[in-house]
Amino acid sequence: MTEKPYEYLLLRHRQIPELDNLEIYRQNGGFEAFEKAVKTMQPAQVTEFVKASGLRGRGGAGFPTGLKWAFIDNNNWPHYVTANADESEPGTFKDREIMERNPYQFLEGVALCAYAIQAHHAYIYLRGEFWQIAARLDQHIAALHAAGLLGEKLFGSDYSLQIHTHLGAGAYICGEETAMLESMEGKLGQPRLRPPFPPSFGLYGKPTVVNNVETLTNVPLIIAHGPEWYRTIGTEKSPGPKIFCLSGRVVRPGNYELPLGTTFRELIYEHGGGILEGRPIKAIMAAGASSSLIIANDQALDTPMDYENVPSVGGSLGSASVIVLDDTVSIPWLINKTIHFFKHESCGKCTPCREGTYWMQHLTERVAYGHASQQDVALLYDVASQMRGKCLCALGEFSIEAVISGIDRFRPDFDQTVQAPPVT
């Protein structure tokens, strides 16, 4: 007897060809959930479904999605939905596959979220590099209008909805939700001081839901099949399927849709084919360049990848962008790489991040290329530690994760590269 093949829920295009054609998507149940919601459900009921499903934000923070929707201030109108399609974390490339190959399920998720909070305009903020995807989404949106699935008085109700694309222009910081809103308003993409949070003060100062592309792509499933069904996938605290982006020194890098709670070992060795050239695995970054470095021992490899278990091995799940490092990778080289990224992408608004990444870059360059002393390593550790808890947004703080965990957990790599201190 052969095992039943995994039935994709998010990357459905892998089993259904031409799913980016509206006809094909509808033949496979597409937009039935949206029609059902508009015709038969109260907006608050849609939010209740999402709450009950336990869906957590897939962009990295893991915040309960339904709760975010329920925070929308109903005394202040209009409301907006903004989909975060800025996907810029090194190691993350899942939203791209969804939008390129299964775009209508994502758009249906946007529509359901808009209906739930009674927004009449939704915006998709795409990173500027996703130029072609934005052009395709514009065509898909036009197709939805032509089919009567977007526009005025949908399904004979009083509800109307427009979806628009908005292209960024190359700035990692715009993945931070308030920086994204600033950017959409035509300003520099710099984070706002919070609170207030977007559900009370978002786009144009109005109540706004900001959700990641993958998060929204889960919503049609929940409305179509119900929250109880959704909770049969994944773990109790992390329900549902997740797309794991596997990259680095593995045989088969790529996107893998698996239930939350799958172990690192299964992802890396079964799906990813193991390490290149059969070499030993050294470390794992579970949340892209923003990750701390997890020592890849048996305990870590057998850890379920979900929001509650990854912290037990000194990491966090984030957007589940798993970068695999083998024994050829030098940790000083690696942190020099990640710090260059964060230095380049620092928006400059808050001093700890702007100055901290600048000084860390000088130090990591020295450390990586063997021109440093032990004092430089100590100073680097000190600068990174002083940034903790002081940056305006989470992205500033992300920059120190690999530095601190790298020095703490891979000290011999640093001892090897630094010069002996001068003899006095």
Contact residues: another protein, CB under 8 A: 87-93, 95-96, 123, 127-132, 135, 164, 166-172, 183-189, 204, 245-249, 253-255, 289, 321, 323, 325, 329, 334, 337-338, 341, 344-345, 347
Nearer to another protein, 50 or 134 (CB): 134
Shortest distance, position 423 Cβ to another protein, whole Å: 36
Shortest distance, position 373 Cβ to another protein, whole Å: 26
Shortest distance, position 186 Cβ to another protein, whole Å: 3
Q: Are 139 and 147 in contact (CB under 8 A)?
A: no
Nearer to another protein, 25 or 342 (CB): 342
Shortest distance, position 415 Cβ to another protein, whole Å: 23
Q: Are 202 and 190 in contact (CB under 8 A)?
A: no
Shortest distance, position 91 Cβ to another protein, whole Å: 5
Nearest-angstrom CA–CA distance, 160 and 110 = 13
Nearer to another protein, 46 or 285 (CB): 285
Shortest distance, position 281 Cβ to another protein, whole Å: 13
Nearest-angstrom CA–CA distance, 376 and 231 = 50
Handedness of CA 353, 354, 355, 358 (dihedral sign): positive
Shortest distance, position 31 Cβ to another protein, whole Å: 23
Nearest-angstrom CA–CA distance, 136 and 150 = 16
Nearer to another protein, 90 or 240 (CB): 90
Nearer to another protein, 68 or 96 (CB): 96
* Closest-CA residue to 353 (of 402, 389, 404): 389
